[in-house]
Amino acid sequence: MAPYYLTCIEKFGPSRCMFDSNFPVDKQSYSYGVLWNAFKRMTRNFSATERATLFHDTASRVYRLGGARAA
């Protein structure tokens, strides 16, 4: 799945992408830990700022949760 995710991140940029899950529905296919570890491994070469944007900041901004770091 990495080539698809990384292509989207490359085309749209971290500020327009976010990681999410479809749990608990997806737990029939893989565990929650396996999914999030895959996301972390996919982004291991990204900067700390890019990772924070993908894992927190974009969702916080889009869903107006507050506490988003400045982009």
What is the model's pTM? 0.81
Interhelix angle 32-42/2-12, rounded to 10 degrees, is 50
User: Is 39 a member of any domain?
Assistant: yes
When divided into structural domains, the chain yields a total of 1
User: Is 64 a member of any domain?
Assistant: yes
What digits encode the pLDDT tens for the residues 21-40?
888 887 888 888 999 999 99
**What is the rounded distance in angstroms from the CA atom of residue 16 to the CA atom of residue 21?**
17
What digits encode the pLDDT tens for the residues 39-59?
999 999 999 999 999 999 999
Domain of 58 in residue numbering reads as 32-71
User: Is 49 a member of any domain?
Assistant: yes
Do 20 and 38 form a contact (C-beta atoms < 8 A)?
no
